[in-house]
Amino acid sequence: MSISANDPLRHFLRHTLATLAYRAGKTLRNAPEGFAHFRAAKGTRTAVEMVAHMGDLFDWSLTKAAGKERWNASSPLPWEQECVRFFAALTAFDQYLASDALVHASAEELFQGPIADALTHTGQLAQLRRLAGAPVRSENYSKATITAGRTGAEQAPPVFEF
């Protein structure tokens, strides 16, 4: 199944990507020194490995959407570069969804695979921040200013943190 340019599911997917960018941005910004290599336990991914995987998820999403599915497992770059790569991959996928190009995968498949996986990893990164002694502030995310198309590292300031 594919998604046509005027399908409302495209807008919903784009809003989901903007939500992910907002939440991921909060976990990635102002990470303490050494956080990139922090891991919860032996055999788990480090923070930078997780961000690299998230970038890979959106590179993959774009290839799925374009009808030329390809997976690539990247070796992590330094923290700042990896964060930039993640937001660039997320934005490239969002821009494809914003275009008139046919999406060659169902909205359900895109959501339940790469998008849901990245949301899970964003939560894991928030937990790693807490374990590393640098928690992010809690927030009423339903009040956040989240707009489809805003998928870069620069996000609106929080509306209601606690």
Question: Percent of the chain at pLDDT above 70?
Answer: 99
The total of other beta-carbon atoms located within 10 Å of residue 44's CB is 11
How much is the mean pLDDT over the chain? 96
Q: Grade residue 4 by pLDDT with cuts at 50, 70 and 90.
A: confident
pLDDT single digits (tens) 54-90: 999 999 999 999 999 999 999 999 999 999 999 999 9
Q: Grade residue 162 by pLDDT with cuts at 50, 70 and 90.
A: very high
Tell me what pLDDT residue 83 has.
Answer: 98
Tell me what pLDDT residue 120 has.
Answer: 98
Tell me what pLDDT residue 104 has.
Answer: 95
Say if CB 63 and CB 69 are below 8 A apart: yes
Q: Grade residue 110 by pLDDT with cuts at 50, 70 and 90.
A: very high
**Which SS3 state, helix, strand or coil, does residue 119 take?**
helix
Q: Report the distance separating Cα 16 and Cα 135, nearest Å.
A: 23
Task: Indicate if the pLDDT at residue 136 is higher than 90.
Answer: yes
Q: Report the distance separating Cα 113 and Cα 61, nearest Å.
A: 9
Say if CB 114 and CB 61 are below 8 A apart: yes
SS (H, E, C) 39-74: CCCCCCCCHHHHHHHHHHHHHHHHHHHCCCCCCCCC
Tell me what pLDDT residue 21 has.
Answer: 98
Q: Which of 1-10, 28-37, 101-110 has the lowest mean pLDDT?
A: 1-10
Please, what is the end-to-end C-alpha distance for the chain in angstroms? 42
| Identity of the residue numbered 23 | R
Prediction pTM value: 0.95
